[in-house]
């Protein structure tokens, strides 16, 4: 599925990507909130997996107070609930390793498209964020800080081109995630099973 709003435009006339939201403001609420939620996800994963490393929104190109919004916090919390399950998913880790070994935009986009090959749901959105988190964490730990904004811009480009229409249909980030409920049984099933589309969460 493609939600691209650029596909009918000739080369060189696509809408500007806007790097990350926050300091580099994206003039679209879906993309702006997506950037803030992604930064919140990355920060919380780092706090969990590497608590000695202190990372702020500003380090990731955002605003100092952007994660104080209680609605944004709730979205991040909802998406984090299946993050541990993703860490245990061998297929997702294999895809992440493909990008980590060659952090190029075409490889990232290819892997991102494969995550959504069987459809779109919130679990797979989290998988996309988890992919970005692993790349950003590697950039932080290897002192390639210049890659952070680039990686976030790739995520926003993918959201705009492939997920935008679906996100609008869900009512955006806040309304969309507030309408899902977690399925305890699903959390223990294989994330990549073609027959299993809820990926740990169900629409209510």
Model pLDDT for residues 80-91, shown as the tens digit of each residue: 887 767 777 777
Interacting residues of 131 by C-beta distance below 8 A, sequence separation 6+: 92, 95, 96, 99, 108, 111, 112, 115
Q: How confident is the model at residue 200 (pLDDT cuts 50, 70, 90)?
A: very low
Q: Which fold has domain 29-179?
A: Apoptosis Regulator Bcl-x (1.10.437)
For 35-47, how does the pLDDT look when each residue is reduced to its tens digit (9 = 90+)?
999 999 999 999 9
CB 152 within 8 A of CB 108: no
Banded pLDDT at 9 (limits 50, 70, 90): very low
pLDDT above 80 (res 125): yes
Q: Per-residue pLDDT averaged across 120-141, rounded? A: 91
**Cβ-Cβ contacts under 8 Å for 169 (sequence gap 6 or more):** none
Q: What is the pLDDT of residue 17?
A: 38
Q: 10 Å Cβ neighbour count for 83? A: 19
Q: What is the pLDDT of residue 23?
A: 47
CA distance 174 to 138: 29
Burial of 98 (0-12, 13-18, 19+ CB in 10 A): middle
pLDDT at 2: 43
Element (H or E) spanning 185, and its range? Answer: none
Residue 194's alpha-carbon distances to 115, 119, 124, 189, 198, in angstroms, are 11, 10, 12, 11, 10
Q: Report percent pLDDT > 90 for the chain.
A: 45
Q: For all residues of the chain together, what is the average pLDDT?
A: 77
Q: What digits encode the pLDDT tens for the residues 57-101?
A: 999 999 999 999 999 999 999 888 877 677 777 777 888 887 776
pLDDT tens digits, residue range 170-180? Answer: 898 987 665 55
Are the C-beta atoms of residues 189 and 196 closer than 8 Å to each other? yes
């Amino acid at each position: 599925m493609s939600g691209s709003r650029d596909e009918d435009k000739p080369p060189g006339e696509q809408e500007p990507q806007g790097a990350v939201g926050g300091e580099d403001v994206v003039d679209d609420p879906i993309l702006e909130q997506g950037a803030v939620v992604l930064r919140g996800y990355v920060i919380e994963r780092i706090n969990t997996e590497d608590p000695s490393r202190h990372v702020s929104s500003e380090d990731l190109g955002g605003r100092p107070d952007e994660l104080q919004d209680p609605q944004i916090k709730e979205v991040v919390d909802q998406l984090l609930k299946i993050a541990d399950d993703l860490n245990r998913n061998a297929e997702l880790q294999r895809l992440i390793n493909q990008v980590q070994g060659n952090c190029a935009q075409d490889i990232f986009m290819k892997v991102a498209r494969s995550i959504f090959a069987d459809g779109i749901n919130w679990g797979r959105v989290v998988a996309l964020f988890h992919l970005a988190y692993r790349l950003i964490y590697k950039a932080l730990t290897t002192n390639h800080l210049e890659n952070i904004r680039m990686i976030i811009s790739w995520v926003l480009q993918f959201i705009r081109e492939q997920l935008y229409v679906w996100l609008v249909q869900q009512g955006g980030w806040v309304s969309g995630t507030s309408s899902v409920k977690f399925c305890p049984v699903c959390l223990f099933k294989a994330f990549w099973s073609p027959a299993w589309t809820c990926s740990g969460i169900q629409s209510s």
